[in-house]
Amino acid sequence: MAEVNLRDVRKAYGTVQVLRGIDVDVADGEFVALVGPSGCGKSTLLRMIAGLEDIAQGEIRIDDRLVNNVPPKQRDVAMVFQNYALYPHMTVARNMGFSLKLAGRLQKEIDERVAAAAAILDLSALLDRYPRQLSGGQRQRVAMGRAIVRDPQVFLFDEPLSNLDAKLRVQMRAEIKALHQRLRTTTVYVTHDQVEAMTMADKIVVMRDGHVEQIGAPLDLYDHPQNMFVAGFIGSPAMNFIKGWIEDGQFHGPGNIIAPAKDAGVDTMLDGVVLGIRPEHLLLDPAGVEATVTVVEQTGSETYLLLDIDGQRINYLGRERVAIGPGDKVHIRPDPARLHFFDEKTGQRLGAPASSGLPSASLPSPGLPSPEKPGTGRGSSPHGRKAGQEPGARARAGLGSAAARVLSLVGIRADGYRPELHYMRGSGPASTRVRGGGEPR
Ligand code: ADP
Ligand code: MG
């Protein structure tokens, strides 16, 4: 087992810069997932660790040894690919032992190692079969067996499950995770599937366009995404993004959505703010905003709704079953403890990270009067004004009153202001690209 350390790793194919300075540390025994949209450079990075691509710039260390110029065979890593082509004319046992045979190991040792790997992978009964006599999942396990028999310091996986059907993928996911818990071999696992990364990894590296956007434990990324790209990439269905502004501690969004914004760290007034709220953090509540149901999908365990609020599309996900159909009305409000705020221009998170997983302390009780109050003055907000231009009076007056608490429910405003709603998956503003998981702002 070994640590893997990447320092300012860069790669270009001709004039095309594919990796733009990657810093990642994989601890001894850790399972790290590299995740990001197709083409962001995951495979290139993995192949550089394996020694299959040369390193134009930067340093890669395995077990504290600089391996930039070490040939693949001497790096003591084993890679499992998406296309795990097995030799069709060889049995499972011979497929698994082939690399050891090439390395000139004695047959006795090969047999022992193959038997041990087969036991781990539950392949012992299949050692004499040929690949064509195996299911997809069994073949994938043989491919992993080929890596395991080598007892490497590091496992490298490149989307090993993407050729399997959905059910098998879930099963193999669990098997690979169990395997890691058993062997504790340092693992770097590439996937474009955030669910795979979330369920398997100790640590996730979110990449985009040759950069690292954020590194963290799975729930860290879910609870405290540092920018809109990570917020939109992690979680399914994707986070809702609602454009608006913050004034006097309140977020104001389309059609009159109002939400408490004390966590955004904005003193008085800031324009160009995006509220992020996950579909599963919206609550059905008679005191919330009225929304029209556009699509209903019930899976039995979950209810997914596509909602329309005054022209804005909002995704809702809940556990309760609801007897409604398209065209019906529901009332929703966001869980105030689960709000995220972003700077619209930079895409970076505003203020302190959102609270993580704790139940919200002070949910307004249902049954409070609806906050729909055209003409309360909130509707005449000077949208478009820059931060800092707001005279202090209104800010000082604040809203630390019962009115503020009522307004901290989501409300609908009547002035027709409709910022566009962003669906960010894979399309955040270019300026959110930060190198090496940089801090916001
Ligand atoms: P990912 O695995 O994240 O989908 P890759 O690492 O395979 O992405 O590719 C990253 C980028 O590098 C892509 O734009 C791809 O087209 C480009 N690329 C990969 N390999 C080569 C190559 N041998 N020559 C030129 N461009 C390449
Ligand atoms: Mg790839």
pLDDT tens per residue, range 56-113: 899 999 999 999 999 998 999 999 988 778 999 999 999 999 999 999 999 999 999 9
**pLDDT, tens digit, for every residue of 263-287?**
788 877 889 999 999 999 999 999 8
Ligand 1, atom 26, residue with closest C-alpha: 13
Q: Extract the tokens encoding 421.
A: 């709603």
- Shortest-distance atom of ligand 1 to CA 190: 2
Cα angle for residues 280, 414, 281 (degrees, 5° grid) = 5
Ligand 1, atom 23, residue with closest C-alpha: 13
pTM for this entry: 0.79
- pLDDT beyond 80 at 423: no
Closest CA to 383 of 251, 289, 259, 263: 251
- Shortest-distance atom of ligand 1 to CA 16: 26
Domains of the chain, first to last: 4-229 (3.40.50.300), 239-422 (2.40.50.100)
Element (H, E) at 244: strand 240-247
| Average of per-residue pLDDT values in the chain | 81
Per-residue confidence (pLDDT) for residue 375, from 0 to 100: 34
**pLDDT, tens digit, for every residue of 19-62?**
999 999 999 999 999 999 999 999 999 999 999 999 989 999 99
* 41 in contact with ligand 1, CB cutoff 6 A: yes
* 38 in contact with ligand 1, CB cutoff 6 A: yes
Per-residue confidence (pLDDT) for residue 342, from 0 to 100: 96
Q: Are 354 and 263 in contact (CB under 8 A)?
A: yes
> pLDDT band at 334, cuts 50/70/90?
very high
- Shortest-distance atom of ligand 1 to CA 37: 3
Q: What's the order of all strands across the beta sheet hosting 329-334?
A: 312-318, 303-309, 282-298, 329-334
* 43 in contact with ligand 1, CB cutoff 6 A: yes
Q: Is 341 helix (H, G, I), strand (E, B) or coil?
A: strand
Task: Give the C-alpha separation, 335 to 9, whole Å.
Answer: 41
Residues near 291 by beta carbon (within 8 Å), at least 6 away in sequence: 307, 308, 309, 314, 316, 329, 330, 331, 332
Residues near 83 by beta carbon (within 8 Å), at least 6 away in sequence: 163
Closest CA to 110 of 67, 145, 86: 145
Q: What is the CA radius of gyration of the chain?
A: 26
* 191 in contact with ligand 1, CB cutoff 6 A: no
Q: Are 244 and 275 in contact (CB under 8 A)?
A: yes
In the chain, pLDDT over 90 holds for what percent of residues? 64
* 54 in contact with ligand 1, CB cutoff 6 A: no
Closest CA to 291 of 264, 331, 258: 331
The β-bridge relationship of strands 65-66 and 203-208 is unpaired
